[in-house]
Amino acid sequence: MKTIPIAIVDDHTLMSKALENMIAENPQYKVVMNHPNGEDFIEALEKTADLPAVVLMDINMPFKNGIETTEWLSGHYPDIKVIALTMEDDEKVLIKMLKAGAKGYLLKDMQPSILFQAIDTVFEKGSFYTDFVAQKLLKVKTEDLKNQSLLSELKEREIEFIKLACSELTYKEIADKMCLSPKTIDGYRDSVFIKLDIKNRVGLVLFAMKHNLC
């Protein structure tokens, strides 16, 4: 039976020690490193021959956070698999961590059995996602597809109108800028509001900012 070497990187001492003690009770796993931040972990990693196969990585840490450390690992030690351990269920943080190279993402209130299942799966197969993570990823993907669909529905002149609407110009001034009548601009505005399901110019500007149109 192969023992899986594990590193813990977490600035919460009680949490990291509790994890280490729990893992130590199972002969299938061995904690070979335990550090309070990414900077200390990287420094120690470059000096040891006893490399971990799986890293349990906190996200919010001083000096070098989990996202930065995972990015570094992806570039220097791509065979080491990272499982993010966090209290945050923010999909933006989730996406950043997965883009950095994390192979799993677990909330710290998980059951111990889920943790060991994640370690085994990541070690043997490369990645592990709970239903929670899968739902978050599906939501993000669905929203991306929806936004791509919305953008594809906009005509070139409507996009031009949206960009100008991000300025301080009045609708009449936008009409002059586009060499169109105010009535035509009103038509563009109403059409864009319907297509994007927004109610006012503020909503239009927020949409434009989100999609780098202004």
Length of the chain: 214
Q: Quick one: tokens of 56?
A: 């349990």
Dihedral Cα 77, 141, 89, 24, nearest 10 deg:
-40
pLDDT bin (cut points 50, 70, 90) of residue 169 is: confident
CA neighbor of 91 nearest in space, from 147, 145, 139, 29? 139
Each residue of 180-205: pLDDT tens digit?
A: 999 998 988 888 888 888 888 877 88
The overall longest dimension of the chain from CA atoms, in Å, is 78
62 contacts 11 by C-beta, under 8 angstroms: yes
Range from 2-16, 50-64, 136-150, 161-175 carrying the lowest mean pLDDT: 136-150
Per-chain mean pLDDT for the chain: 83
Report the predicted TM-score, pTM, of the whole model to 2 decimal places: 0.61
106 contacts 118 by C-beta, under 8 angstroms: yes
Each residue of 47-91: pLDDT tens digit?
A: 888 899 999 999 888 888 999 999 999 999 999 999 988 887 666
- Beta pairing partners, 85: 58, 106
